[in-house]
Structure 1
């Protein structure tokens, strides 16, 4: 990626494109203010998303929903969030659209209003669809902003970006437990104010993005920087393996985000609010663990972090369905922390496999992750209706073993010394 050099300000007027020049060198500095702003926006976006599964116990009681219907709600949202993302990313690879970011947040804002006012299963599905569309617009371009502001430290940049999203996912259930569960469905409208803050932050990011777009072909610059030597067939198989690993991670994550509260209520007879706090513990661990995957991948190599994150989760996942209340809480935190490091490493690894296609890769992997999460929630909800929640967690415990496939991934970049 080319170097961005800020020109000294003069009394004469300058256009945004005159304020930046490019060269064949790597970006010398990481633009932390932009990374933290886009990370905050990711926090807001994913906090709004996390409201959906967090209010499942309330919606299930209010509308008499089955676990299958709960799964269909997640499937609807996740499909809307996943199907559009690769197309959005591919389009913005050719024509970056900086101010699509606040537009995406406005869709999520509208979805929150619709969810607060929903009166039946159909309107609930419509509301979560709108939130899904907002997510599909937000992720590819915001991930590209993290790439542009990385200063060459792409793993670190993706981790900063991801930790915002995971922090939002963790905070959402806690806010729901404290604000929405006691006051009812209409209290979801408070999240509209949070969405407005996100819109303002993304307007600032969009302004920076527009002023600092690199005009040259990103594909040519990325190839000169990374110079991959893998054959097209090896790249294709590597992408397939990465997508299978995403499947294992997000199917397991679906069991936790959509059904962990029900598991805790069913097995340990805790209250709805207490179950939300246990879910917060898991999601907070996910947020904390997210930070380490990217920078450690920069230092030691992505492949080793993927090994540790996916396969390393398996012993704890296998033990969780058989543990008591205390150890269930502890194991959920350990699992969340370890599993969280995978996505940043996988995403940057894929970007290095296909340099110059940052938007398409971001859209594909974010979209596939959401799709697998939605499909997993729907499938596991049906399984829970026909068996039990405990059986679902016993079954999902084997998913991290798929991490063994990491062995077949090539080393696309040497770790930093």
Structure 2
């Protein structure tokens, strides 16, 4: 009787209660990690001016940063699904620390590429295990938990314009080295998270056992699940190419078309990214209430009118449209992660690595492709055609409903 009471008391802590303290700390670490990553695209105007880099070369830098993360994230997630690695979190941020330090003092294009490879590697290690921590601390509120975790990352990315205006413009490239302090803070916080994570594995060994069983049991995915994953990845492709185009190249467009300074152009980008971070936060709770498929469909298609009109309106209206498109489009960011995790239960790290990692990868390919297109047909034409990408959101209507996904899991 006493043992049963103990088990009942422990159950809400391990499987039902939402542990907000852990969620907020891992969200803060996500913010710090992605703020460091945001330094790279934030430096593009500085590097283009000081080193005479072309749009294609800037795209290669972004490709180097994001592709490493894209390729490695699903691999890290797959491996840690079998063998959770709590202390991979601070180790990953240590790679990022080295990368940002080298970036601040890099004197050639090759050194810049090498430095962002380290930053990308650190991100690849951090994201799958960070998402797993959010999942473990979520209790029953998975959408909210994933939103808290993801909004940290998107807020970090939104800091890029502020980083440019306040640090990189006055200090130049060497200003990037100051972010080693942020990396060190993140490492300290992640040591705390890793200790909590490790303790959870010790006190609840069934957590790791379930993951192992789940991976082995779900290795053979059904045709329906594979098709649905393909649709999700296509939607991520459309969303990420659009955000990559705005993030990496819209400041150049605003400087040219509206005769803005570098600092002034960063305000437009900051508005887009901050509204996207806010949209990311609201996406999870909205999906918990209205359904994941509905929010994914809405986020893509409701963005279309604004994304198409942005190149044709005056700067004030463009600023407003950037805010609206950023908010609406990014409501689906955390939702696609949770949708994939529930589509293939037992592979939390793998699905997180695939969806978030693929977002980095698609952004990498998009950066090179869009940079080449901008050099080929002109920046204005590239930005104009960019606005059509959210139309691929029509694919979302082909996704199975949340209830259908639940039924598939019950059959299995």
Q: Same fold (TM over 0.5)?
A: yes
Q: How many residues align?
A: 397
Counterpart of 2:191 (choices 195, 203, 222) is 203
- Residue 266 (str. 1) matches residue 256 (str. 2): yes
Say if 1:117 and 1:186, in contact at 8 Å, map to a contact too.
yes
Say if 1:301 and 1:414, in contact at 8 Å, map to a contact too.
no
Partner of 1:106: 94
Q: State how far apart, in whole Å, the 1-side matches of 2:205 and 2:172 are.
A: 50
* Deviation string, structure 1 residues 18-72 (Cα, Å, up to 9, x no partner): xx99769982210000000000000000000000001101001111111010111
Say if 2:95 and 2:121, in contact at 8 Å, map to a contact too.
yes
Partner of 1:218: 210
* Deviation string, structure 1 residues 202-260 (Cα, Å, up to 9, x no partner): 1111011000124223359979xxxx9x9811110000000000000000011111001
Q: State how far apart, in whole Å, the 2-side matches of 1:205 and 1:220 are.
A: 22
- Residue 330 (str. 1) matches residue 317 (str. 2): no
* Deviation string, structure 1 residues 73-113 (Cα, Å, up to 9, x no partner): 11111111110111100000010000100111111111111
Say if 1:73 and 1:125, in contact at 8 Å, map to a contact too.
yes
* Deviation string, structure 1 residues 172-209 (Cα, Å, up to 9, x no partner): 32022111111111111111111111111111110110
Q: Which secondary structure state, in structure 1, belongs to the residue aligned with residue 16 of structure 2?
A: coil
Shift of 1:411: 1.4
Distance 1:21 1:109, change over 3 A: farther
Shift of 1:311: 1.4
- Residue 140 (str. 1) matches residue 132 (str. 2): no
- Residue 74 (str. 1) matches residue 66 (str. 2): no
Q: State how far apart, in whole Å, the 2-side matches of 1:26 and 1:318 are.
A: 47
Say if 2:310 and 2:322, in contact at 8 Å, map to a contact too.
yes
Q: State how far apart, in whole Å, the 2-side matches of 1:24 and 1:54 are.
A: 43
Say if 2:214 and 2:347, in contact at 8 Å, map to a contact too.
no
* Deviation string, structure 1 residues 266-305 (Cα, Å, up to 9, x no partner): 1101001111122111111111111111111111110000
Q: TM-score under structure 1 normalisation?
A: 0.91
Residues 85-164 of structure 1: matches in 2 within 5 Å? 85-164=73-152
Distance 1:231 1:45, change over 3 A: closer
Partner of 1:62: 50
Partner of 2:243: 253
Q: Which secondary structure state, in structure 1, belongs to the residue aligned with residue 325 of structure 2?
A: helix
- Residue 285 (str. 1) matches residue 263 (str. 2): no
Bigger CA drift: 182-191 or 134-143?
A: 182-191
Counterpart of 1:319 (choices 285, 292, 309) is 309
Q: TM-score under structure 2 normalisation?
A: 0.92
Runs of 5+ in structure 1 lacking a partner?
9-19
Runs of 5+ in structure 2 lacking a partner?
406-412
Q: State how far apart, in whole Å, the 1-side matches of 2:6 and 2:39 are.
A: 44
Q: State how far apart, in whole Å, the 2-side matches of 1:25 and 1:280 are.
A: 39
- Please give the root-mean-square deviation of Cα atoms over the aligned residues, in Å: 2.5
Q: Which has the higher helix share?
A: 2
Q: State how far apart, in whole Å, the 1-side matches of 2:161 and 2:113 are.
A: 20
Residues 26-65 of structure 1: matches in 2 within 5 Å? 27-65=15-53
Q: State how far apart, in whole Å, the 2-side matches of 1:305 and 1:193 are.
A: 38
Distance 1:389 1:7, change over 3 A: farther
Q: State how far apart, in whole Å, the 1-side matches of 2:192 and 2:33 are.
A: 16
Partner of 1:186: 174
Partner of 1:385: 375
Q: State how far apart, in whole Å, the 2-side matches of 1:6 and 1:280 are.
A: 52
Say if 1:301 and 1:413, in contact at 8 Å, map to a contact too.
no
Distance 1:189 1:150, change over 3 A: same
Shift of 1:7: 7.0
